Structures are given as C-alpha cells and as structure tokens.
Chain A
C-alpha cells in the first residue's frame, strides 16, 4: 500500500503540470477580454490605457512567453496576482480554501451520516413506508435546487423564527479571530473566544445542512443499492444462521461491505464540492473558493482561474488517494492486492 501511495505522490506534480498546461492554453482561447476586469469596459477604446494595462499585467507578451513565465513562477510558489482582487492568488486561495473546507467537511459529515443511515434503513425495510420515506427524502436532497433550499432555510430559520443566524461565517458586527488555520471553529477556540466558537458553529448549521442534504441523496441511494445486494449474499445468511443479532448483521457484516462503493462516491463528492459549492456559498455569503472560481471565470482572471484549477485538481488527486487508502482499511482484499 505504501508503494502505491508513494507512486501516486511522485506522479502528482506531473499531473498538476498537465492540468496547468491544459487550463492555461484553454483560458487563452476563451472569448472575452480580461482587461475589462482591470480597467473597466469604458476605457477599452483608449489605446493608451489599454497599452499601459497590458504592459503592467503582462498581457502584452505572447501566450508561450506567458506560459513559461507562469510555470517558472509556479515552481517558485508564485501563482501570480489576480486581475480582479489585485492580490496574490496564493493569498486569495489561502483565505478562501479553509472557509470552503470547513463548510464541505461539515456538509460531508451531515451527508455521510444521514445518507448511510437512510440507506441502511431503506434496505432493511425494503418496500415499506420507512423505505419509501427514506427514498423520498434522499430524492429531494438530490433534486431540490440548492439555491432555493438555501433561501427557504434562511427565511424560515433566520428571518421568521430567528433560531439561526443569517449569511456569513460569523456575526458581521463581531471582530473575527486572528487567522491561524482559517477554520473559524478552530481559530475561535485557539483565541479562547467561546462566544465566537458558538457563533461560528451556528453560522455553519444551515449551509452545512443544505449542502449536506445533496450528499445525503447520493449516498443513501448508493448505500441502499449496495446493502440490498450484500444482504442477499450467502455470508449474511450464514451470519444470521449462526444467531448473530440483526444489528450486528447489518452494521458488522453487511454495511462494511456495502460501504466500499459509497466510499468512492464520498471521495469524489468531497473533491467536487470544493469548487462546486458555489450556489450555497453565494446564498450564504460564504467567502469560499467556489464563488471565487465563478468570479474568476466570469472576469477571465487567468491567474485565479489557473490557481483554482490547481486546487481543484489537487483536491481530486488527494481525494482519490484517500479513497484508495480507505478502501484498504475497509476491505482486507485491497490491502493484499496492493
């Protein structure tokens, strides 16, 4: 297993370079003018202003020259400066990635726990009202638009009942803690700010539930299908015949085997949500990487687009690696095969 991990880690920089090259080339041929984000649309017809902006942002150089400069800078840990925010892309990503990770991790916990439970219940009580209810719940999670659900959740829990706070990571009027990890839950605790921790936790609940519900839908259906398959197999019958309790049969014997396909889905869903949580981030004014990616794409902010792509690519590669490790942990056959 260690050899597989090492092999993956060695290949990772080459894969990233491939992703960077593809993104860089594709971005250059995208229709539109990145100067609009820098000088505004009105100044586009002023050749002096256009020339000055091109020179300042390196857009006066040819695409191959820009690519070589970018790769050279990348090798030195410099992802360039965003056309839109005017800040180093690395700083932008360092600001936004923890916000997204905090949200996505919480959403994944919500989605995985409820999805697995619903999948097990649904399989165990197949074709009963409990199964139908669980499937309906899962289906709604997959098909209800997240932006609508987010707005509805805010309306009910924040505007009408005041049970939970509105958008943002903290009460906007409070002072944020010093950034240590970028994870608000951790940073407030490190600062000894208990009120801040509770506030950050409360702000996480609604976006995590909304985002997590979509994960629930995917996981529940996957676990149900796997469980139905596993529950019909001989080793389950054998376990029951040997007098194992139903809970033990379900969780010890069946679920452990049924989880293997769900792990793949969880791994890729996690990586997808890092850049794909944009709707929830928009509705909840969550300063994460999803909305950063969309704004970068809209404004043809080449350095930011490439930076986000690197993060997204790394996310998928790492998620893939972790999924394989998790496979090995759950399935001894994988360990021996590796």
Chain B
C-alpha cells in the first residue's frame, strides 16, 4: 500500500515537473523562427473541390489554377482587357463564330515539353466532356481544328462575342495532355465516367504556369513552388503556401503574429479593429455580391408573388442600411444581377427604398395588411457578409410594410438543393464571376427559358416573364462587339431590374490584408489573387 501511494505521488509530481520543464523549454525558444526565404503564406479558408482544371470549381481553385495552369488568354490588371497568355495573337471572324489562335512557340510545360495546339484542343474538349462544374464554359464549343502545332481554329455553335473572355477563365487552363493521359486522363465523350485522373491531380500538376504543385493536404495546406523553368516572367517568390484557416479572426491574428503574409477573407469590421503598422489593408470594390430572389412558381408562398408584390418588397428594402449593417458601409449598391463594372452596367439606376410606395403597391395587390412568408437562406459567411445578419435586416425592413419574414437558415448544401427542388419562394444567394463578361450573368439570372433562374421564376408561365425578348437581346449581345454589345447588355440589365426576380443587396468591398513587406497584391475578376505578381521584399 505504501509503495503504491508513493508511485501515485511520484506520478503526479513527475507529470507536473514534465509540464513545467516543457513550458520552460518552449518559452526559452520563444520567438525563434525557422528557416524562411521568399516563400509566402496565405491564410485562407480553402474551398477546394478538386485540383483538376476540368473538375475544379471554387474561389480558391481560381487562385491555384491561375498560378499553375496558363490559359490561352488572360485578363489585364484593369480587369477589362483581354491580353495574350499562351496565345500571342488571335483573329475573330466577323460573325463571331470562328477564333484562330497562334501559340507562343516559346511556351513550355513545367517538365520542358512544348505547349502545342494538341494540348489546347485536348484540354478544352476534356473540360467539356468531364462535365464538371465549369463545363458550361464550353457549351458553345462546336469544333477545334489544328492547323499546325502552334495554330488552331476554334468554332462555336452560335456567335459568341464573350468566347475570348471565357478562354481567360482559369478553368480553361491548358494541360500537358501526354502527361495527364499517362495518369488516367482522357478527353473522350465518355470522360465523365472513364477519366480517373482526379486523384493524380491532387498530388501532381501538369501546367505551364509560373508555379507547380509541391503538395496538397486537404484541410491543411496547399504548397506551390516556383516553376524554375517558366517560359514567361518568373514568379517573384520561391513558393506559396495556402494555409487552411477557417476563421477570419484567426487569419488576422496569423497576419499580426507574422505566421502569415496575406489574408484576404478578413471582413471590414475585423479589419477596423486591427491597428498594426506592419499590416497593410487595401479595400477594393469586388465583383461579388449577395442578392435576394423570388421564385414565383415555388410552392409555399402564402400569396402569389406577382410583379406588384415583388416590387413592393423590393422597395421596402433599405439597401444602404443593409450595406452598413453587414459590412460596415464597405460595399456598394448594385442595380442589376450583372455586377458593377461589367459590360452594360454603366448608368443603370441604383435600387431605391420607398416604403410609402411599397405599401401602396401591396394594397393595390390586395394585401394592405401584409402577409407572412418564409425566407430560406444558407447560414454562412460569404465575402465577409454574415448572411444570417442580412436576413435579419431584411426581416426588419419588410416588417415596415407588414410583410413578416419567417427566417429559415439552412446549410449550404440543403439550401442549394432546395432552390432547385422543390423551390423556395423567397431566398438569399450569392455569386462571383468566373471570368470578365456579362453573358455568364444573363445565362444564370436572365429570365430566359432553360436558364437556372428563368426556370425557378417560371419563365413562360409567370405573367410578365415570357423570356422571348430577353433571349433575343442576349443573342444580339453575343453577336455584337464594342458599344453595340454594351448597349445590348444594358438592355438586359434594365430588364432584370424591371423583372424584380433578382434583387442585388450588397456588393461588398474586398479587404486585401498583407504584411508591409509584400507588394504586387491585386484582385482579379478571373483569377482572384494572381500569385505570380506578388513580391516579398
């Protein structure tokens, strides 16, 4: 008994001693940084669904793909002009259906293999046939003819003045076809079920970009290293580590402690609380936005969501107040579903708040005492906006016209499924561009038959939403260029405003937070954060 007691006591004291010794050792080495060169660390909540260009579809995917896979064309820093990347020059036929590209003969993949027209053809056809999230970008692809190893002609089914913009999307990255095929990739019509390369892409890259994949561990870190034999201007940093950091406050703390060099998901409110001379905050307008939307044909609405009802609810929303409430004023009003700065958005009328008119419209629609309706939304933070908070703001605003919102927060997966089937009468959603161009918005939000929100709104059955006029304008925009294209998209924008199906609420500014020894930071409409331009001094 005595011996056992001593063991207990010794055990306790030993454990305590070990802890104290351990803590002492830790404190003794406190602040000792391990080896670091010009490698940079980006703290970010990664939403990667794949590292395969044909399967990836997410914000972080854009950062990764633009760093590792060059595209035929890319977007200039002005976020408007299409400039050469792998293609040095190109010609477009007058009917905007035939696109001839001349590849840079100096372009090589990271293993030294030249980039050829065959690789381009293979990559584009694979993107189409894999049927991943970004496959819609190749919807208009009809054929690709190879004229010589550095010249190819792409034909689209219908006129597509946005095809050059589409080719600058990061998902259209050009892959080393021989290398990928050796690891299970293919571009056949059956690729969606026969291509088995997605696991290989998780540990290897096959691009011609400024970086190559070093390693990826899901939910931990994505490591890129500089492509030492890059054919273009070499990256300024030796490597990039994107560290999974789910929480925005933790991202800020990592930046403050020096554990990270860049954080780009810090919300404006958190940014205001940080006063550190070693950290630079740059706020830039983004092309991302959060919107409210109606599905007049969805079951569950207590009243028909007629145009008058939709307009009344739209007029009751305090848009400026919503920007103050959700992002502390660091955002912009957005008139239509096409984001500010994209073709056709100049001089569109900003959304207005008019509670008296809203009440009158509601009375005219037969609901002077209002009604109660559900608002289903994804309960998550996106672009620095807490959507639950925005839902509460809408609840307060609509209460002013006696429309009582019953908030129904859901996980993203449940919400995204519900808005398609069975449908949600009133919801909140969000959107970010895949490339610079307005067609993607017309195709997603336009009141046209077959388009996602057109279907949800009941184009063809809902009064006032016949879809024909908007489709004609859209086709006109796709066949036009310059001012004519701008005018056509403006017409679509105005129609979207008049439809009162999609109500953009907040276009939040993007907070780029980084250490003061970092330069070259910018936000890109196609690539999110172009890593190759970043310099660590």
Binding site for A on B (CB under 8 A): 1-2, 4-5, 8-9, 12, 15-16, 19, 22-23, 25-27, 29-31, 33-36, 39, 41, 49-50, 57-58, 131-133, 135-136, 192-193, 198-199, 202, 217-221, 241, 243-247, 249-250, 253-254, 256-257, 259-260, 411-414, 416-417, 420, 444, 452, 455
Contact = CB atoms under 8 A, between A and B. Distances in A.
A43 B132 contact: yes
Given A31-B417, A40-B57, 18 more contacts: A33-B414, A40-B49, A41-B412, A42-B57, A46-B136, A53-B192, A55-B192, A92-B218, A109-B19, A113-B15, A151-B249, A165-B257, A166-B253, A166-B259, A172-B259, A251-B12, A285-B244, A287-B217
Interface residues on A, range: 35 or more
Contacts of A87: 199, 202, 218
A318 interface: no
Given A33-B416, A52-B192, A283-B247, A172 B41 contact: yes
A173 interface: yes
A313 interface: no
Given A168-B243, A285-B245, A248 B417 contact: no
16 contacts: A31-B417, A32-B411, A32-B417, A43-B131, A44-B417, A45-B452, A52-B193, A92-B218, A155-B253, A159-B257, A162-B30, A168-B259, A172-B243, A173-B36, A202-B29, A205-B26
Contacts of A291: 219, 246
Contacts of A147: 247
A36 B417 contact: yes
The 9 closest A-B pairs by CB, nearest first: A252-B5, A52-B192, A40-B133, A33-B417, A41-B416, A287-B220, A85-B218, A166-B259, A32-B414
B259 A251 contact: no
Contacts of A109: 15, 19
Nearest to A96: B219
B132 A247 contact: no
Contacts of B131: 39, 43, 46, 48-49, 52-53
Interface of A: 31-34, 36-46, 48-49, 52-53, 55-56, 84-87, 92, 95-96, 109-110, 113, 116-117, 147, 151, 154-155, 158-159, 162-168, 171-174, 195, 198-199, 201-202, 205, 247-248, 251-252, 255-256, 282-285, 287, 291-292, 295, 298-300
A118 B414 CA distance: 46
B221 A36 contact: no
Contacts of B249: 151
Contacts of A172: 41, 221, 241, 243, 259-260
A33 B413 contact: yes
B413 A158 contact: no
Contacts of B30: 162-164, 202
A167 B29 contact: no
Contacts of A113: 12, 15-16, 19
A46 B450 CA distance: 10
A167 B259 contact: yes
Nearest to B414: A32
